[in-house]
Chain A
Amino acid sequence: MTPPTMTARPWLLALVLLLAPGLAEAHIIAARLGDFYTGALHPLTDPQDIVLWLALALFAGSLGPGRARWLVLLMPLGLLAGFLLQVTLGIGQIGALGAAGLMVGLGLLLASGLATGLAAGNRLFGGAVLLVTATSGASNAAGMAPEANATLFAAGLASAGYVVITLLLAAIVALRWPSTDTSGTAGWRAIVLRVCGSWIAAIGLMIGGFALKSLAGV
């Protein structure tokens, strides 16, 4: 039987590859590969999007595969909804302070390990998904070049959302819920998730601090 650590290893590798900084070259890609790939790579150029997507994936993954799998569908739909809101009505962006608040909230939920035990888990999950995906879609729409083809850009954005979140979720679920955990390693896995949560909350606090500083004009 394959030990659980062995099954988690490919997913961790996928996670590392996904977060590789070499991907963050959307504007070079724009000139080379057109608006679909620009839309697909645009969120990966913004640390706020990367951290929020990771936080959402960790949060959903910590709730188990039953809830996590809904994110595969909801992520691209939420991104498209946020994109449409921004393009048609000019609303949906929450700014750096709002994004920082979301990071802190999700990070604390993960770090405290409260998410899985809450009675209102479903509503909390739904709210987090709606907020993160819609605001991320809106902020990416706002960053779209005026001459870009909105349809292709949105298709690229939704595709990237689907691909990134599906691979991340699978990696997290493999880490959190190994199909055959007989080695008693579940403890350190929970600690990894909590540590990730605390880092996300810390990053959120840092971004929030910078946002407040710039608001105050210091």
Chain B
Amino acid sequence: MTRALMSSALMTSAPVTSAPVIKGTRRAWRWLALALALTLLALPGLLPMPASAHETSLGVLELREVRQGAYMGRWTMEPAFGTARIDLRLPRQCFVQLPQVLCGKQGLVGPITVGNLGANMSAVMIRILPMTGEPHSYTLTSANPVATVMAAGAPTLGTWLDLAPTYINYGIDHILLGADHLLFVLGLIWIVRGGWRLAKTITAFTIGHSLALAAAAFGLIGVAERPLNACIALSIVFVAVEMVKDLRGQPGLTARYPWAVAGAFGLVHGIGFASALANLGLERNLLPPALLFFNIGVEIGQLGFVLLVLALIAAHRRLGAVLPAWGAVLPAYAIGTVSSFWFLGRLLRMLAAT
């Protein structure tokens, strides 16, 4: 029922051929290759190129606690363009007016970041010297833009709850900015087409990426980032090919065992999520709550995306806005082209780094 509704909503009847599966798949790959080549030819003209010159600059900020919760800040190494333009962001309980930083009873605990890293500044090192206990240094770069400052001693429930908004928001941001993860989920929705099967498939993807995220965050598994990103792109290419096969009336692996495919690729995507969490420079005793809240954020973002796509499908159905027969395969080719472009780009970067 749902399958039929989705089919009528988003596409007219798919051309079902009697050609063998292999022939159909080859044709799909040929079209994907052609679309990819066209995109590669067109992209240099469409995309703005990044500035070729990049000024490097390093700053070192020392924050010394002078009384409980009050710090005096001093740039021991000033960045080349001065300190006035640096967008320093400390935890929300802190009032910053350098050289003075007032954090109240909670102290300087929570995420610290510099908002404009990467534009003219490569890195900032922040040294925190508490009245008691060891000093800590945190290096912020555009690749690792956020560090989390821990209170002295074991984290309390209050510390954990303070972290919740930060890491839930970070998880939401990560999934909303992760076009590759969203495109994979879109491909799954397209093939599975709603109903309980979709609920089970998305749950399998969630379980897969949650397990992998936890395992990678605790150091049980480790995969280099570049090959992993290439694999994530390849998983979307796989889903795109499955979409084309499905349209040709040749249900692929995803159409037959969607939960298995979603779970397996969820493991790959989960390791990718973990690399984002690793970039935050978390201390180990903060990892469990951060992981939990980050995962909740990812799930909120993913659920929001799934609901939006389902709402749009229902809206198209209500309006009778359907793709013509010749355009039924366009979404699959669009997803395939973009993901192939990502895959090749990531592969080239991986090969260039070796």
Contact = CB atoms under 8 A, between A and B. Distances in A.
Interface of A: 11, 14, 31-34, 37, 65-66, 68-69, 72-73, 149-151, 163, 166-167, 169-170, 173-174
Nearest to A168: B315
A83 B320 CA distance: 28
In the A-B complex, the 10 residue pairs with the smallest Cβ-Cβ separation, listed nearest first, are: A170-B315, A69-B321, A170-B318, A69-B319, A166-B315, A72-B321, A65-B319, A167-B315, A65-B320, A170-B319
Given A150-B48, A167-B315, A170-B314, A33 B177 contact: yes
A89 B321 CA distance: 33
Contacts of A151: 46-48
A204 B115 CA distance: 40
Residue with the highest number of chain A CB atoms closer than 10 Å, among B308, B314, B318: B318
Contacts of A68: 319
B312 A163 contact: yes
A72 B177 contact: no
Interface string B103-147: 000000000000100000000000000000000000000000000
B311 interface: yes
A3 to B, nearest CB: 16
A77 B176 CA distance: 24
Interface in B268-327: 308, 311-312, 314-316, 318-321
B69 to A, nearest CB: 27
B162 interface: no
A69 B319 CA distance: 6
B173 interface: yes
A137 B69 CA distance: 49
Contacts, number: 46
B319 A37 contact: no
B312 to A, nearest CB: 6
A163 B308 contact: yes
Contacts of B315: 166-167, 169-170
B11 to A, nearest CB: 15
A68 B319 CA distance: 7
Given A14-B311, A170-B316, A170-B319, 8 more contacts: A33-B177, A68-B319, A69-B319, A69-B321, A151-B47, A166-B312, A166-B319, A167-B311
Interface string B3-24: 0000000000000000000000
18 contacts: A11-B318, A33-B173, A33-B176, A33-B177, A65-B318, A65-B319, A66-B320, A73-B321, A149-B48, A151-B48, A166-B312, A170-B314, A170-B315, A170-B316, A170-B318, A173-B318, A173-B319, A174-B318
A146 to B, nearest CB: 13
A147 B126 CA distance: 28
A218 B195 CA distance: 60
Contacts of B176: 33, 37
A173 B312 CA distance: 14
Contact of B319 (A34, A149, A150, A169): A169
A77 to B, nearest CB: 14
Interface in B165-204: 173, 176-177
A73 B311 CA distance: 17
Contacts of A170: 314-316, 318-319
Contacts of A14: 311
B312 A167 contact: yes
Contacts of A167: 311-312, 315
B316 A166 contact: yes
A127 B320 CA distance: 23
A167 to B, nearest CB: 5
Nearest to B46: A151
A60 B315 CA distance: 15
A150 B46 CA distance: 11
B212 to A, nearest CB: 25
A37 B177 CA distance: 9
B319 to A, nearest CB: 4
Contacts of A69: 319-321
A30 to B, nearest CB: 11
A37 to B, nearest CB: 7
Contacts of A163: 308, 312
Contacts of B46: 151
Contacts of B318: 11, 65, 170, 173-174
Contacts of B314: 170
Residue with the highest number of chain A CB atoms closer than 10 Å, among B115, B315, B320: B315
B173 A72 contact: no
Contacts of A31: 115
B319 A32 contact: no
B8 to A, nearest CB: 14
A31 B319 CA distance: 36
